[in-house]
Structure 1
Amino acid sequence: MIGLMGRSSKVALIAGALFLTSCAPSSQAPSTPRTEFNIGWSIYAGWMPWPYAQQAGIVKKWADKYGIKINIVQVNDYVESVNQYTAGKFDGVTVTNMDALTIPAAGGKDSSAIIVGDYSNGNDGILLKGADKFPAIKGRQVYLVELSVSHYLLARALEKAGMKPTDIRTVNTSDADIVGAFSSPDATAAVAWNPQLAVMKKEAGAKEVFSSAQIPGEILDLMVVDTATLKANPNLGKALAGIWYETMALLQRQDAQGKEARAAMAKLAGATPELFDSQLATTHLYADPKAAVTATSAPALIQTMTHVRDFSFSHGLFKGAASADAVGMSFPGGKTLGDPQHVTLRFDESFMKMAASGQL
C-alpha cells in the first residue's frame, strides 16, 4: 500500500462473502453501448495522474475524441471505492492487483485490468526496533493492517527467510493508528506503507529489514474496468489509455511543465511537492506503454498472481471456495490461472498495445 493518505485493504472479507452467491462470471453493467462513464479513484501517488488529467483537460480531450464523457470521481476511502465499483456504481476503479482479485473477482464480478500503472518499489516496508536483520522478527508481535498488501509483504518476507506465519503474531492496526502504535516502546515490529512508513522509520532504534523493492513487480496498481462494459464500449478503454499515457509523459518531464504538473498532483493529494516526489521515487511507474505491455505479458505476472491468490485463499479471502483455483484469471496469450470456466479477472494488454503502437 502506497497511499499519500492511506490505501489500505482492510476488507477483502466482504468480497469473499459474495463468493458463495456468485461463483460464475457476471456483471451488473449493461451490455449495450453508452456515452457516459464513471471511474472511481482514491489518493495515492501513482493514481494522482487521473484527477490531474481531469483538471488539465486531458480527460475531456480524449473523451471528446471518442464521443463519450468520462467522470473521474474521488472516493476518500480506498476500500470503499473498490466496494462501490464491485456494487456497480463505477465502471472502473484504481485498485491493487491483490484487491482486484479478492474483492470484485472473488465476488464474481468480471473485471479487466487494462492499465498496469506501477508497482511498489520500496513504498512498503517492514520495520524492527533493536535489530537490523529480518529473522529477528521471530517471536515478535507485528503491527499491520491485516489482510492488506502489508500482510502479503510480511508473508513473502517470511517465505523468503524460510520462516512460517506461526513464527510471529500479527496485531491488526488501522493505517490511521499505526504510526502511534509503533511509537510505543512495547511495539518492536510493524509493516506499513508511505507516508506512514517514512514517519515510523524515524523512531529510535527502528530499521527497515525488508521492503517491496525485494519483491519487485508483486504489489501492482491497476486501472480495472467492468468487462461487459468494456466489451460493449471499447472506446472507453481507448480513451482511458490515451489519458493515462499522455499524462504519464507529462509527469516524467524534467522541465518547468513537468515540475508544474507534479506540483499540481501533490496539491490534489494534499501533499507537498517534496513528499509527492519522494513517493514517486519508490514507485516504479510504467510510464512507457511498451514497458507496461512487456510486464503484463511476462510469465512473472502469472507467478506473482499465484503468490497473491495462494496468500488470499490461505487467509480466507475466497470464502466458500474449496481451493485457490476457484477464482479464474486470464493473461495475454490465452494463458489462465485457476478455473478457466470461472474467469473473473482478466489482464488485458490490448489498450496498452494500442498506445505503444500509436493506434489510439
Structure 2
Amino acid sequence: MKRIARCVAAAMAVGLAWAAGAGGPAEAAAKKTFKIGYNVYIGFMPLSWMQSSGVMKKWSEKYGVDVQLVQINDYVAGINQFIAGDLDAVGLTNMDQLVMPAAGGVDSSLFLITDYSNGNDAIVSKTAKSVKELRGEELHLLQFSVSHYLLNRALALNGMKLSDVKTTNISDAEITAAFVTQPAMKHAVAWKPMVPDMVKGAKGSEIIFDSSKIPGEIMDIFIAKTETLKDHPEFAKAFVGAWYETLGKLKAGGAEAEPVRTALAPALGTDDAGLTSQIDTTHFFFGAQEAADFLTAPKTKEIWDYVRTFCFEQGLYGQGADSVDAIGIQHPDGSVMGSQKSVKIRIDPSFTKLAAEGKL
C-alpha cells in the first residue's frame, strides 16, 4: 500500500475540478450505485472476500443499493478518483485524509475505521540499537508518508527532532532492494511486507522502533464526501454491515475463518504464515463497539492533533495555509479542532454505533 501524502496543490486542483462538475441534489437523490475503492493492504483486503463471497451483495440488497468494491492498484490514484467523484468512498490513512481531500478543499467524513497499525510500520537499522543512536544519521524513507510521521514521533518520544537526522526520499518500490544491497544505507523506515524482507535480507539489521509504540496513531479508515453520506446513508449502512459480518468470521477462527483467510493470503501475495504475521501487527477493530469507543475517545483527539501538527510543519497544508488551524476537524462530540469556518474532516461514528447496537 502506498501510504503517501502527495502534493497538496495537485489535490486541490482535482478537488476544484470535482466541484465544477458535480451534479445537483436531484441527481444525488437518484443515485443507486456506489463505488468504494480500496488498496492492497491487510487493513482493507477483507473487502476482496466481501465481494467474492456475496456478503456485500446481500447487504446491498437489504438497503436497495448496488455497492461495488473496486480494488485500486495505485493508492494515490485511488484517492484522486475519490476527489474527482469517480469513487463514492475510499480507504486511506487518517493522515492522507488530511493532506489530500481536506487540504484540497473537499469536505469528507470518516465513517468507518478498520484498524490501526500496531507494528506494521517500523524503523530498521543495520547499526543502531536505539532511536537515540540515530542522531546525525541519514534515514531513507518515503517522504511525507506515514513513515515520515512515524520517524517524527519516534524522535519526539526520545527527546529529538527531525532536524537531528537527515532524511532521504526513496520509493516504496525501491527501498527493500536498496537496503539489502547497499552497505552505505544503514537506516530506513518502511512498512510490511517490506520490513520483514529488509530485516531478513540485510545481515545484522533489526527493528529499533515500530508503530506499536504509538498505538492508534496510524489509522486505516474509509471516508466519503460528507454530502454523499448525508444524501445516501444507506450505502454506508450496507458497507459497514458487510464489513462487520466479514470481520466476525475472521475473528471466529477455525472453520468459519478459513474461507476468508484462504482468500486473503493470495490476494496479499503471501501464504498463511505471512497473513498471520500481518494480522498480528494490525489492530483490527473486530467489534463495532470498540471502534466507536476509539473514535469518540479523548485520546483520539490528541492523535489528530499530533497528525495535523506534523502535516502543517512539513508544508502539507499547501502554501496558502498560515496556521495549523487552517483546516477544521469536527469530532463526534461536535467540537472543532482548527477553523470553525473551514471544516473539511468530520469524524462520524454513527454507522459503527448502529452496528454495535445491532440496528443495521
- TM-score above 0.5, yes or no: yes
In structure 2, the CA distance between the partners of 1:310 and 1:10, relative to structure 1 (3 Å rule), is closer
Q: 2:342 maps to which residue? A: 342
Could you tell me how far 1:11 is from its partner in structure 2? Answer: 1.5
- Contact 2:5/2:100 (CA < 8 Å) preserved in 1? no
Q: 1:11 maps to which residue? A: 6
1:40 aligns with 2:37: yes
The farther-off stretch of 144-153 and 104-113 is 104-113
In structure 2, the CA distance between the partners of 1:18 and 1:285, relative to structure 1 (3 Å rule), is same
Q: 2:62 maps to which residue? A: 65
Task: Please give the per-residue CA displacement for 1:201-234, whole angstroms capped at 9, x wherever unaligned.
Answer: 1211212111100000000000111111110111
Q: How does 1:23-38 map to 2 (within 5 A)?
A: 28=22, 30-31=24-25, 32-33=28-29, 34-38=31-35
1:196 aligns with 2:194: yes
- Contact 2:332/2:347 (CA < 8 Å) preserved in 1? yes
Q: Choose the corresponding residue for 2:93, options 92, 96, 100.
A: 96
In structure 2, the CA distance between the partners of 1:162 and 1:28, relative to structure 1 (3 Å rule), is farther
Task: Please give the per-residue CA displacement for 1:261-318, whole angstroms capped at 9, x wherever unaligned.
Answer: 1121122233222212210110000010000000000011111111111111111111
Cα distance in 2, alignment partners of residues 181 and 66 from structure 1: 49
Cα distance in 2, alignment partners of residues 8 and 357 from structure 1: 32
Q: Percent identity?
A: 41
Cα distance in 2, alignment partners of residues 115 and 167 from structure 1: 37
Q: How does 1:1-360 map to 2 (within 5 A)?
A: 6-9=1-4, 11-14=6-9, 18=13, 28=22, 30-31=24-25, 32-33=28-29, 34-183=31-180, 184-202=182-200, 203-319=202-318, 320-360=320-360
In structure 2, the CA distance between the partners of 1:162 and 1:18, relative to structure 1 (3 Å rule), is farther
- Contact 1:8/1:175 (CA < 8 Å) preserved in 2? no
Cα distance in 2, alignment partners of residues 326 and 27 from structure 1: 26
Task: Please give the per-residue CA displacement for 1:234-270, whole angstroms capped at 9, x wherever unaligned.
Answer: 1011111101101110111211120221121122233
Cα distance in 2, alignment partners of residues 90 and 235 from structure 1: 16
Could you tell me how far 1:189 is from its partner in structure 2? Answer: 0.7
Q: Which runs of 5+ in 2 are unaligned?
A: none
Cα distance in 2, alignment partners of residues 260 and 72 from structure 1: 19
Could you tell me how far 1:164 is from its partner in structure 2? Answer: 1.7
Task: Please give the per-residue CA displacement for 1:48-67, whole angstroms capped at 9, x wherever unaligned.
Answer: 11121010001100000000
Cα distance in 1, alignment partners of residues 2 and 261 from structure 2: 20
- Contact 2:3/2:92 (CA < 8 Å) preserved in 1? no
- Contact 1:127/1:209 (CA < 8 Å) preserved in 2? yes
- Aligned with 1:236: secondary structure? helix
Cα distance in 2, alignment partners of residues 137 and 348 from structure 1: 39
- Contact 1:128/1:137 (CA < 8 Å) preserved in 2? no
Could you tell me how far 1:115 is from its partner in structure 2? Answer: 0.6
In structure 2, the CA distance between the partners of 1:117 and 1:26, relative to structure 1 (3 Å rule), is farther
Could you tell me how far 1:166 is from its partner in structure 2? Answer: 1.3
Aligned length: 352
TM-score (norm 1): 0.94
Q: CA RMSD in A?
A: 1.7
Cα distance in 2, alignment partners of residues 10 and 228 from structure 1: 24
Amino acid at match of 1:289: A
Could you tell me how far 1:168 is from its partner in structure 2? Answer: 0.8
Cα distance in 2, alignment partners of residues 155 and 27 from structure 1: 39
- Aligned with 1:318: secondary structure? coil
Cα distance in 2, alignment partners of residues 276 and 77 from structure 1: 21
Cα distance in 1, alignment partners of residues 252 and 7 from structure 2: 37
Q: 1:3 maps to which residue? A: none
Q: Which runs of 5+ in 1 are unaligned?
A: 1-5
Cα distance in 2, alignment partners of residues 65 and 26 from structure 1: 33
Amino acid at match of 1:355: A
In structure 2, the CA distance between the partners of 1:175 and 1:10, relative to structure 1 (3 Å rule), is farther
TM-score (norm 2): 0.94
- Aligned with 1:89: secondary structure? coil
- Contact 1:143/1:170 (CA < 8 Å) preserved in 2? yes
Amino acid at match of 1:11: R
- Contact 1:328/1:339 (CA < 8 Å) preserved in 2? yes
In structure 2, the CA distance between the partners of 1:255 and 1:27, relative to structure 1 (3 Å rule), is farther
In structure 2, the CA distance between the partners of 1:29 and 1:120, relative to structure 1 (3 Å rule), is farther
